[in-house]
A and B are shown apart, each in its own frame.
Chain A
Amino acid sequence: MKSLIKIQMRYGVMAAGIALLLVLLNITFFLGYMLRYGERGITHSYYKMGEITDSLAKKGNGYYMPEESMATVEKEFVWAMLLDEAGNIVWSWELPEELRKKYSIQDVAVFSKWYLKDYPVKTYVHPDGIAVYGEAKGSTWKTRLELPERVIAYFPQGVLGLFLANIILALGLAVLLGYRLFRSLRPLAEGIERMEEKEPTNLEETGPLEELAARINRTSRELARQHAVLEKKDTARTTWIAGVSHDIRTPLSLVLGYASQLEESPHLTEEEHRQAGVIRAQSLKIRQLVNDLNLASKLEYEMQPLSVENIRMAELLRKIAADFMNQSKDRELEILVEIPEEAQNLKVQGDRKLLERAVGNVIQNSIRHNGKNGVCRVEVQLKDMEQQCQIVITDNGPGFPEEILRRQGDQQMEVGNSHGLGLKIVQQIARAHGGEMVLANRDQGGRVTIEISR
């Protein structure tokens, strides 16, 4: 939606810009035109006419115009005459026949403003009368311009105001049109947004954007279909793995059961007891593997329903540590739980069994990879961060192989690696709790940080 508003803003600014540009262009064009074509008629010729008229001097009985002025007159006009105060023609040049007459005051008043027999004329006052110059018929358009004084006084403001009004109108129109465009685009944008969130879109397929709406609807349907297919596949895979693990569990029950029986049987030799013990231990490993595989596949496709409750982390961590230490009396295992005072009552919304499993898997991992180092020391720390709680588990083992550290950000962690499935589950559980698992190596041993959002 934000992008749409941005488009709308840009659209408005651009439209206003175009309007402004057009106004400026028009003004420039008008001024240019006036300068180019208006120059001669307006300024120049009146100035010259003064000169010419003044040069028309009395010579004997008549009047005489010097060569220089005559040349200008010939260039600009088709005829010329000088009337004395009584209206008689005292001098003329190329005067058409029809104009040879005596002129009354009325005549003068009329032609000085308009035309003389369709000839546009210009008049100029001469010391002895009035000089009249005629231009070719149809060459000049004459009008009278009378404006109230006020109009002329406010002319600059008026122009400026008009200019501003133009801009405001242009801007207003741009915004209005833009808003209409925005309104017609909004459902489309919403449709695309919904599509992003994998919700079905059903836009009204009408109006100018009909085709676009129809396409978005089609794309949405196609996406929904693909999503459904994918989900079906995921469900199928999870169900399949669950089925396989179920099928393995029954025969494994028999193996585990009878191996345990043999281990306790009084009729067997020491060696045979040991062998039965190996079968039992390995069966337990398979059991663990099947359980892990099942859980991992469910977590992968978010099929595992989280039974969320309020968990006091300090208590949970102590319980896990105590359970491990109680179970491994014969082994050299030391688990140190360090919880600062402020984290003692830290509570987390989470699945108790899954969180126990995650921490347990990490400790199990430390024990498994620490075989030859003598005492296995595991340190569990609880840290209260603002938005999350961190469980930091460090050990004195060999640490993690580079390969695993490098690949820990991947969505798919390598299964089959001896570190793999157990840690993958830790990662999945952390993610299911809105957090992440981070692996690192220290100088001596490895460090696993489980972050859980609070």
Chain B
Amino acid sequence: MESIYECKILIVDDERGILEMTEKILRQEGYYKIYKAGCCREAREAFWQVKPDGVILDVMLPDGDGFQVMRDFRMESQVPVLFLSARDEDENRLLGLGLGADDYITKPFLPRELLLRLGAVLKRVYFPVMEREGRLPVFPVGERSVDLNKGTVDFGDVSLTLTAKEYALLKKLYENRGNIVTIDSLCQAAWGEDSYGFENTLMVHMRRLREKVEENPSAPAHLLTVRGLGYKLV
């Protein structure tokens, strides 16, 4: 398998319209091995024949519920399953059952949302190595360049090394570039769960980080403070 688009996707829904639309959405995105089922029985048959790489599963089916179908699948394989449901209660049930579903979408959904989540699930399951093997990003911050592989900030001949905490914080900010990252998320990224009480320490680390990535640390242009909330990398 070269990419996620080669994955065999099984869509299970009793609503013909939804089946058709979902198929179209997937095809447009580039998936081309698509199989459909309208009920639990068909889903099980298709599962044995096709051995899908990913399943989009409706919860309410005419001859049973999707949770049971997933239990059956799980006996045989760890195929990623994305639940599609039209009821709020299903979410609670899903969490309560602890089936280990990979994701969950409520109807009605935006096609973009479905594609993003399916893509994320498939990538996580089938291409996790690629990211680890592949090089981590090198990105510019203003005139300077951050290399996450080496953990350095480079400009001209100078190369500044990031500390472990600075690295964790900068990585988190980079992953959410353009968005505000709350103090709490940053603390969690650097110090782990239950990181209450690190707010002041965070400020110190951010100041040091600015000294490394900003031209003029007292008037930051890239590592911005959002008062009361957190920080933002632009």
Contacts and interface: CB of A to CB of B under 8 A. Distances in A.
Interface in B128-173: none
A305 B92 contact: yes
B107 A250 contact: yes
Given A322-B181, A326-B180, A337-B229, A261 B108 contact: no
A260 B199 contact: no
B228 A318 contact: yes
A81 interface: no
A258 to B, nearest CB: 7
A322 B230 contact: yes
Interface in B73-91: 86-89
Contacts of A319: 182, 184-185
Interface stretch (B1-9, B14-22, B37-45, B203-211): B14-22
Contacts of A321: 228-229
Interface string A357-370: 00000000000000
B182 A315 contact: yes
Nearest to A320: B182
A15 interface: no
B227 A336 contact: yes
Interface stretch (A108-116, A153-161, A338-346, A391-399): A338-346
B21 A258 contact: yes
B110 to A, nearest CB: 6
For the side of the interface on A, what is the size category?
A: 35 or more
B62 interface: no
Interface string A174-218: 000000000000000000000000000000000000000000000
A318 B182 contact: yes
Contact of A322 (B17, B111, B180): B180
A314 B89 CA distance: 28
A389 interface: no
Contacts of B184: 312, 314-315, 318-319
A322 to B, nearest CB: 4
A246 interface: yes
Interface of A: 242, 246, 249-258, 260-261, 280, 283-284, 287, 291, 294-295, 305, 307, 312, 314-315, 318-319, 321-322, 325-326, 329, 335-339, 344-345
Interface of B: 15, 17-18, 21-22, 24-25, 28, 60, 86-89, 92, 106-112, 178-185, 196-197, 199, 226-230
Given A322-B182, A344-B196, 10 more contacts: A242-B87, A250-B86, A253-B18, A256-B109, A257-B25, A257-B108, A287-B108, A294-B88, A319-B182, A321-B228
